[in-house]
Structure 1
Amino acid sequence: MNAVEIESAISDLTLEPFDAADFPFTFLAAFGNKETALKRLRAGNNNASDIPGGVLLRSNIHIAACEPGSVGETLKALRTSPATTKAKAKFILATDGQTLEAEELITGETIACDYTDFPNHFGFLLPLAGISTIKEIKDNPIDVRATSRLNKLYVELLNENPDWAKAERRADMNHFMARLVFCFFAEDTDIFRGDSLFTRTMERYSEREGSNTHQVLSEIFRAMNIKDVERAITQPRLPSWASSFPYVNGGLFSGSTEVPRFTRMARTYLLHAGNLNWKKINPDIFGSMIQAVADDEERGALGMHYTSVPNILKVLNPLFLDDLRAQLEAAGDNKAKLLNLRKRIARIRVFDPACGSGNFLVIAYKQMREIEAEINRRRSEAHNRSEIPLTNFRGIELRDFPAEIARLALIIAEFQCDVLYRGQQDALAEFLPLNAQNWIICHNALQLDWLSVCPPAGTGVKLANDDLFNTALDQTEIDFANEGGETYICGNPPYLGSTWQTDEQKADLEAIFAFRTKNWKSLDYVAGWFMKAADYGSKTKAKSAFVSTNSICQGQQVPILWPQIFATGHEISFAHTSFKWTNLASYNAGVTVVIVGLSSQSKTPAHLYSIANSGKGDVVDVKEVESINAYLVPGTNVLVEKSSRPLSRQSEMSFGNKPVDGGNLLLSRDEVDALGLTLKQHERFIRRIYGSSEFIRGLERYCLWIEDCNLEEAMSIETIRPRIENVRAMRLASRDSGANEMAARAHQMREMKIAQKWTITVPRTSSENRPFLPNGLIDSRSTVTSEAFALYDAPLWNMALIASRLHLVWIGTICGKLKTDFRYSNTVGWNTFPVPLLTEQNKADLTACAENILLAREAHFPATIADLYAQDVMPDNLRHAHERNDEVLERVYIGRRFKNDTERLEKLFDLYTKMTADTAKASPKKSRGKMA
């Protein structure tokens, strides 16, 4: 379940009569626990509670419904209960149906509230559903509650008005929802002069069964599009109850006032939404969640799209906000300096060319208003009208509804800031009518000239219809100037790897990159935003920073994308190395991202941010460096390109054996048994074979291993011959000419490599969540598939290199990933891995380290690599063996342990640069003489 669904279930629970016996189970169901598990708890089979009336779900929560007035005592009993400790409960909760108290046992944080007020605290307990508690949601759940109400209303209206669900009317439906959001907010903030004017009017003048609700709403919307001086002569005349609503316009209420028809239930949902306190809405959170309401595909993930403010500030702070705050600090109380800073801020444009519902723009606006307010306070001008225009916060968004919500979110943010910094009276006096200028363009950002949205001189973008909320798709002109200002481009564009791009998205990238590089088809979609930002910055004063999957700074994309960006004169001015960009999805289903800032005017040192977990939460380390390369490592721009052989002196690494067999040469244990072979035949024709899964998870897989000299005997075995014939038929039928040629030796895989003593093997794909790269030793009767790499009969010190933290961080940076998994490469990862010249003693020491790792694993037989290398349960002896291996190897590199991965990568890139330079010098020069 997601956050919105949980809030809805909790709200429904508190509306029902309190049943002490049933409450714990209904509560657990509201947080997504399956009915089968609840049945076992009800039966007492899995209920380990030692409290009367208590229910204990292991590793989750201990709940007790109690007698009236005894909630505090019951919570204390739950806290001291031996069962709570033994079952590792994370939370305890007690209620008597009148009050409710709960405690998070790790932090000691508590809540206490009336039972009916419980839905306003549901965010406190979100970890019970595997959802990370985000401070903004925990402290202020109105955003999720409002989204929940609007979603119910939206779905009900579409069911009743199927025509409004069609593509040609969906924009009307979304515009209608934006009008409702404004009305709910306006009535709770006194923008509508009158207590709950909108909801009270709907409740009083619409029929209970909903039959005339659409008519009442239509008249209210019509009123807000008529100026006060024109109302007396407007025909048809407004009803007296509609005349109480002010003139709003700004495009929000212009055009059609048609409203979808309501059912009784839809009217109920409308009133329930209106009864929430919309004054507390956070526009920076609310916009991205309500965006999902209007999207059929995203509605299943409703409430999961909120991006935390701290994550967005990771982009905005180093991009420009930190500089503004530093200038504020330097200005002190000097009124002239403060005035200059205020003028500078008023000319700053923030541009998000993939703005969605406006999160980045709203947060940037609020942060800038906070700095401006402090300037005004120091200048004794606290009630001054803000000089920061909303028109300086510009965006491009492909879809119409998020664009509309982005405009609305900025309007709400402006009003809230005015109330906070100038007072309610001044804010209300200047809020209406809304400004009709449009600053969010609905368009494909990769097909649009960004200079038309933010031209160097600031002019451009003229409105075709004077309508803020009804922008034509191809409208790209705005009419306001910002001479001499700075432009900061930011955002979180769509990532989309090359495999998942549509034809239209491929065409977008082709238009941007085809004339620059022939390899553009391998780029992620987000690369288009980086390139357009660099092109924009080469024509006008601007800096940019985007969130991206870390793949654009790893593997094959680096030598394709970054030379093109650097060619525009840009450098990486700051960067955040890989971290999880989390959301409200269950189990924190974020993606691994980087943040990269670009500038063509960088005169100051670059800043590299990295996040480490201290055990008490994430700690951000900031390093000031001379330059940052495309792999987000301190140092000059260097591109690691694949090599056909090791550039250092380690052993050759090969691909495993590729079957190309149609499933006939590879066998399960049961299929081997079904062959009915004699012991001697089994010895001759069957080998254990390992790919990534087999090696890591200990899965059993075998192969037919038929040397040419044994082919005649193999063909005489009735159970083997059909398999060989099937391979031949499959290869002949293939469209691959290479497979056709292999049909002549249908008894063998494409490669037939096996060791004399042992094989050091490395899985091709492995999880990034393991502290060390899976690798190990297999015997001479076993081999590997093409889903693993092999060093045949290589000295064991090679395994020590692969098992090191140094090699893991090199692979993670250079090879790229498959989704979030490491994708190993021999030509890119192993052959380029920089290794200093090793003495015989170094090799002996590393060999001993590899042997110790193998012995430590053997001590836990039959545990698999997956079992042994799980992050939190890695056995101590194995961890110590790896730490010893790291210490021995790292002392070879710098005489001590490295402090962190950044330092490791700095050294590796330095060595790689020297190594490739030496290789280039040693390469024989081509003759320049004439051809004979």
Structure 2
Amino acid sequence: MNAVEIEQAISELALQPFDAAEFPYAFLAAFGNKEVTLKRLRTGNNNTSDLPGGVLLRNNIHIATCEAGIVSETFTALLASPATTKGKAKFVLATDGQTLEAQELASGETIACAFEDFPNHFGFLLPLAGISTIKEIKDNPIDVRATGRLNKLYVELLRENPAWAKDDRRSDMNHFMARLVFCFFAEDTGIFSDTGLFTQTVDRWSERNGSNAHEVLSEIFRAMNVKPSERGAATPRLPAWANAFPYVNGGLFSGSTEVPRFTQMARTYLLHAGALNWREINPDIFGSMIQAVADDEERGALGMHYTSVPNILKVLNPLFLDDLRTALAEAGDNDRKLLNLRKRMARIRVFDPACGSGNFLVIAYKQMREIEAEINRRRGEAHKGSEIPLTNFRGIELRDFPAEIARLALIIAEFQCDVLHRGQKDALAEFLPLDSQNWIVSGNALQLDWLSICPPTGKGVKVISDDLFGTPLEQAEIDFENEGGETYICGNPPYRGSKWQSEGQKRDLANAWIKHPKLAKTTDFVTGWFARFFDYLDKVPDAASAFVATNSVVQGQQAIDVWPVAFARDCEIRFAHTSFKWANLASNNAGVTVVVIGLGKKSSTPKRLFQDDHVKQCSAIGPYLVPDSLAYVQKAASPIGQQSTMLFGNMPRDGGNLFLDGDLFSKLANEDLVARRFVKRFVGSDELIHGRLRYCLWIEDREVEGARKSTFVSDRLERVAKSRLQSDAESTRQFAKYPHRFVQIAGVAKASQILVPGVSSENRAYLPCDLLASDSIVSNKCFALYDAPLWNLSLVASRLHWVWIGAVCVRLETRFSYSNTLGWNTFPVPLLTEQNKEDLTRCAEDILLAREAHFPATIADLYDPETMPDNLRHAHERNDEVLERIYIGRRFRNDTERLEKLFELYTKMMAAEKSKPAIKAAKGRKKTS
């Protein structure tokens, strides 16, 4: 269930007659628990509560209902209950149907309220559904509630008006919804003369069955596009009840006033939406959420679209807001400095070329208004109107509805800021009529000319329209009266890896990288915005940008492809945030792993690298977000150090016919002695990490005739041949002649083999690896060091190698995706003495012995970060100490220092490698002279 569905479910639950016995199960159902889970709790099989009327869902919540008047005592009993602790409950909740008390045990945060009011705290309870949230939603659920109400209305109207669901009318439908949002907000904030004017007018003048609701709404909208002085001559004449609505202008109510037809249910949904308190709406959060309402594909994720303010500020603060706050602090109470700062801020342009519903622009505007308000306070001008124009907050959005919501969100944000910083009276006095200038463009950011939309200075063509909100623009030349100054480009563009891009996106990316066409074929879609910024920077060298991007752009091949081009174009990374989750309201905190990259022209100013809660100042930030190193790692065909050669495992391409599970293997071992000789354990990433047993047929060329004496083997080989003949790949079809063989055989150990999984979790402190005997066959999902000295295991299992892989190899989300050519062969290892190798061998043996002491625990069990055995942890720490002393004579202080040293050593080793041919050539010339 998504957040909107949960809010609706618990709102309905609060309205139902209270049933003490049934409430716990209805409550759990409202948070998405399945009927089978509830059935087990009802029967007592899984309910370990030790309180009367108690229901305990393990790892979730302990609920107890009670008699009237003893909620506090029951709540205290829940907190003291041994079952609460043993069941690892995250919440406790007590209620008697009149009042309700609950606590989140980890944080200690509590709620206490009347029973019917507990849906107002649904944000507090969202973790029960595995949904993380943000403070704004936890404290004030209006944004999720408003989204849910409008979604019901939207779906019902499209059902009743199928023509409005088609492409040629969908923009009309979306424009209608934008008008409704404005009306709901205006009637709750005093913009309309009477509180509740809009909702009450619709309720009074429309029929209960909704039959004339479209006519009433149409007249209201028409009134708001007619100036008071012209209403007497309006044709047709406006009804008297419509004259109560003010003239709004701004294009929001101009053009067609046609409204979709309503059903009784649609009318009810509209009135329910209007009953919410829209004064408390957060335009940045609500805007992000509501864009899913108008998108058929995204509606299933309703209420999950938002960007938390702290995440947005990771972009905006280091881009320019920190500098403004520093300037404010330095200005103190100096009137002249404060005035200059205010004038400077009035000329700053913030441009988001992937603005969606405008949340970056809204947050930037709000933050700048806070600074401006403080300036005005210090200058004794607290009620002064803002000099920061909305038209300096510009955006491009591909879809027309989010673009429309972005404009509306900025208008709402401006009014809220005026109320907050100047007072309701001054805010109302200047709000209407709205300005009809357009500053959010609906179009394709990788096709449009950014300079025409956000020029640094100068005059161009203003975009003013009689139907501005309802007119998507394919191109725009925008310049307003206010003078341009600093330009900051920011946003969270769409990501899409190269394999998942549509044909249209591929064309857009090719257009963006037109000066570097090779990059369009291999990079993520988000890099198109980098490319466009590089072009913009050629014309506006003082501009700066910061984009949220997938962390893959600073890993693996993309790091090699993108950043040398950026540096060659005189661009630098001015600041960056290392990998973190860009989360939403999806269950289990779903979210993509991202970085923030701040860009600008090369400069001598210090750079800032943010990692978790720490910031490091440095002279440069490299392609892998490494401080003080611009080096990038190229794939190497062989190791640059003394480590052994690492190869892929073996690829079968057999249609699954060469494989056996454990049960079949056991049966074969007892019943087919011929076949048993040709069965070996098969180990891939999953088998290595989780200890699962899987087997394969492994038949050497000289053994085929003997193997076919087994009916089982013969049948399996026939199946392999048939499967390969059906393959689209010619190379695979050729191997139908040799059904006993794997298609690609990288290597087979004679004595032992060190295995590294191709993909593994980043949550472990060390890379999972293992030493296996030669009787196991390595899958192509693993890499192997065949018959390598054991000290190689010490390198693979070290924290140093974990850090290196995390930086230079591609990641799948945050998981490590190992590479022998990028990760192992490039791993910089200093010259090892024989004593060093002996010491490292002993460390590797100690790690293996520590594991053996916990047999049959798997690598997944042993390397769980919360339960890793002490002896194994100590063995790894000893290994790290021995290895790191070889590098710098002591332990490294942290991973950042490790990475810096590794890149320093890599740079030196590569420089030495490149100089070798030149030295030989020089010696040769000397001999011939």
1:618-640 CA deviation, whole Å, 9 max, x = no partner?
xx100000100011001232121
- Quote the Cα distance in structure 2 between the aligned partners of 1:514 and 1:926: 41
- Quote the Cα distance in structure 1 between the aligned partners of 2:434 and 2:226: 13
Query: What is residue 245 of structure 2 aligned with on the other side?
Result: 245
* Structure 1 residue 729 displacement after superposition: 4.8
- Quote the Cα distance in structure 2 between the aligned partners of 1:312 and 1:877: 43
Query: What is residue 813 of structure 1 aligned with on the other side?
Result: 807
Secondary structure (helix, strand or coil) at the match of 1:46 reads coil
Query: What is residue 804 of structure 1 aligned with on the other side?
Result: 798
Change (3 A) 1:449 1:255: same
Query: What is residue 615 of structure 1 aligned with on the other side?
Result: none
Asked if the contact 1:648/1:834 (under 8 Å) is kept, the reply is yes
Secondary structure (helix, strand or coil) at the match of 2:777 reads strand
Query: What is residue 6 of structure 2 aligned with on the other side?
Result: 6
* Structure 1 residue 730 displacement after superposition: 4.6
Paired residues in the alignment total 922
Query: What is residue 329 of structure 1 aligned with on the other side?
Result: 329
Change (3 A) 1:122 1:677: closer
Asked if the contact 1:458/1:480 (under 8 Å) is kept, the reply is no
Asked if the contact 1:75/1:94 (under 8 Å) is kept, the reply is yes
- Quote the Cα distance in structure 2 between the aligned partners of 1:335 and 1:467: 43
- Quote the Cα distance in structure 2 between the aligned partners of 1:879 and 1:398: 51
Kindly indicate whether residue 693 of structure 2 is the aligned counterpart of residue 709 of structure 1: no
Asked if the contact 1:607/1:624 (under 8 Å) is kept, the reply is yes
Q: Which amino acid aligns with 2:543?
A: A
Match of 1:687 among 655, 676, 680: 680
Secondary structure (helix, strand or coil) at the match of 1:494 reads coil
Change (3 A) 1:737 1:42: closer
Secondary structure (helix, strand or coil) at the match of 1:287 reads helix
Query: What is residue 782 of structure 2 aligned with on the other side?
Result: 788
Query: What is residue 563 of structure 2 aligned with on the other side?
Result: 562
Kindly indicate whether residue 873 of structure 2 is the aligned counterpart of residue 872 of structure 1: no
5 Å-filtered alignment, 1:389-538, equals: 389-463=389-463, 465-538=465-538
Query: What is residue 616 of structure 1 aligned with on the other side?
Result: none
Asked if the contact 2:213/2:262 (under 8 Å) is kept, the reply is yes
Q: Which amino acid aligns with 1:811?
A: I
Query: What is residue 33 of structure 1 aligned with on the other side?
Result: 33
Query: What is residue 904 of structure 2 aligned with on the other side?
Result: 910
- Quote the Cα distance in structure 1 between the aligned partners of 2:672 and 2:42: 55
Query: What is residue 364 of structure 1 aligned with on the other side?
Result: 364
1:878-920 CA deviation, whole Å, 9 max, x = no partner?
2222222222222222222222222111111101000000000
Query: What is residue 816 of structure 2 aligned with on the other side?
Result: 822
Kindly indicate whether residue 581 of structure 2 is the aligned counterpart of residue 573 of structure 1: no
Q: Which amino acid aligns with 1:446?
A: L
- Quote the Cα distance in structure 2 between the aligned partners of 1:734 and 1:117: 62
Q: Which amino acid aligns with 2:756?
A: V
Asked if the contact 1:350/1:490 (under 8 Å) is kept, the reply is yes
Match of 1:848 among 821, 826, 842: 842
Asked if the contact 2:348/2:484 (under 8 Å) is kept, the reply is no
1:678-720 CA deviation, whole Å, 9 max, x = no partner?
7763564222121112212222222222222222212333332
Change (3 A) 1:247 1:71: same
How large is the Cα RMSD of the aligned pairs? 2.0
Query: What is residue 693 of structure 2 aligned with on the other side?
Result: 700
Asked if the contact 1:102/1:112 (under 8 Å) is kept, the reply is yes
Asked if the contact 1:102/1:110 (under 8 Å) is kept, the reply is yes
5 Å-filtered alignment, 1:300-315, equals: 300-315=300-315
Asked if the contact 1:453/1:461 (under 8 Å) is kept, the reply is no
* Structure 1 residue 21 displacement after superposition: 2.1
Query: What is residue 226 of structure 2 aligned with on the other side?
Result: 226
Secondary structure (helix, strand or coil) at the match of 2:168 reads helix
Query: What is residue 614 of structure 1 aligned with on the other side?
Result: none
- Quote the Cα distance in structure 1 between the aligned partners of 2:89 and 2:659: 46
- Quote the Cα distance in structure 2 between the aligned partners of 1:107 and 1:572: 38
Change (3 A) 1:683 1:397: same
Kindly indicate whether residue 192 of structure 2 is the aligned counterpart of residue 198 of structure 1: no
Identity %: 70
Secondary structure (helix, strand or coil) at the match of 2:784 reads strand
1:217-246 CA deviation, whole Å, 9 max, x = no partner?
111111111111110000111111111000
Asked if the contact 1:457/1:481 (under 8 Å) is kept, the reply is no
1:108-163 CA deviation, whole Å, 9 max, x = no partner?
21111122221211111111111123111111111111111111111111122222
Change (3 A) 1:71 1:514: same
Query: What is residue 348 of structure 1 aligned with on the other side?
Result: 348
Kindly indicate whether residue 385 of structure 2 is the aligned counterpart of residue 385 of structure 1: yes
5 Å-filtered alignment, 1:739-778, equals: 739-749=732-742, 750-751=744-745, 753-778=747-772
Change (3 A) 1:845 1:461: farther
1:233-269 CA deviation, whole Å, 9 max, x = no partner?
0011111111100011211111111111111121111
Kindly indicate whether residue 638 of structure 2 is the aligned counterpart of residue 637 of structure 1: no
1:401-422 CA deviation, whole Å, 9 max, x = no partner?
1111111110000000000111
- Quote the Cα distance in structure 1 between the aligned partners of 2:890 and 2:153: 64
Change (3 A) 1:735 1:271: closer
Which runs of no fewer than 5 residues in structure 1 stay unpaired? Answer: 612-619
* Structure 1 residue 735 displacement after superposition: 4.8
* Structure 1 residue 744 displacement after superposition: 4.8
Asked if the contact 1:645/1:831 (under 8 Å) is kept, the reply is yes
Kindly indicate whether residue 664 of structure 2 is the aligned counterpart of residue 663 of structure 1: no
Q: Which amino acid aligns with 2:823?
A: G
- Quote the Cα distance in structure 2 between the aligned partners of 1:201 and 1:733: 69
1:314-336 CA deviation, whole Å, 9 max, x = no partner?
00000000000000000001100
- Quote the Cα distance in structure 2 between the aligned partners of 1:738 and 1:922: 39
Which runs of no fewer than 5 residues in structure 2 stay unpaired? Answer: none
Kindly indicate whether residue 622 of structure 2 is the aligned counterpart of residue 621 of structure 1: no
Q: What's the TM-score, normalizing by structure 2?
A: 0.96
* Structure 1 residue 665 displacement after superposition: 2.8
Asked if the contact 1:188/1:279 (under 8 Å) is kept, the reply is yes
* Structure 1 residue 42 displacement after superposition: 2.2
Change (3 A) 1:679 1:740: closer
1:43-99 CA deviation, whole Å, 9 max, x = no partner?
333222222222222222122222222222221222222222222222111222222
5 Å-filtered alignment, 1:889-908, equals: 889-908=883-902
* Structure 1 residue 461 displacement after superposition: 4.9
- Quote the Cα distance in structure 1 between the aligned partners of 2:601 and 2:459: 23
* Structure 1 residue 530 displacement after superposition: 1.0
- Quote the Cα distance in structure 1 between the aligned partners of 2:921 and 2:604: 43
* Structure 1 residue 589 displacement after superposition: 0.5
- Quote the Cα distance in structure 2 between the aligned partners of 1:909 and 1:345: 40
Query: What is residue 106 of structure 2 aligned with on the other side?
Result: 106
Q: Which amino acid aligns with 2:706?
A: E
Asked if the contact 1:291/1:401 (under 8 Å) is kept, the reply is yes
Secondary structure (helix, strand or coil) at the match of 1:56 reads strand
Please identify, of 37-46 and 520-529, the stretch whose mean Cα deviation from structure 2 is larger: 37-46
Please identify, of 783-792 and 664-673, the stretch whose mean Cα deviation from structure 2 is larger: 664-673
Change (3 A) 1:285 1:725: same
Please identify, of 836-845 and 632-641, the stretch whose mean Cα deviation from structure 2 is larger: 836-845
Asked if the contact 1:457/1:482 (under 8 Å) is kept, the reply is no
- Quote the Cα distance in structure 2 between the aligned partners of 1:201 and 1:340: 48
Change (3 A) 1:71 1:727: closer
Change (3 A) 1:45 1:685: closer
Change (3 A) 1:208 1:762: same
1:316-362 CA deviation, whole Å, 9 max, x = no partner?
00000000000000000110000000000000000000000111000
Change (3 A) 1:404 1:910: same
Asked if the contact 1:538/1:569 (under 8 Å) is kept, the reply is no
Asked if the contact 2:2/2:303 (under 8 Å) is kept, the reply is yes
* Structure 1 residue 804 displacement after superposition: 1.2
- Quote the Cα distance in structure 2 between the aligned partners of 1:254 and 1:782: 75
Query: What is residue 290 of structure 1 aligned with on the other side?
Result: 290
- Quote the Cα distance in structure 1 between the aligned partners of 2:895 and 2:434: 52
Please identify, of 717-726 and 641-650, the stretch whose mean Cα deviation from structure 2 is larger: 717-726
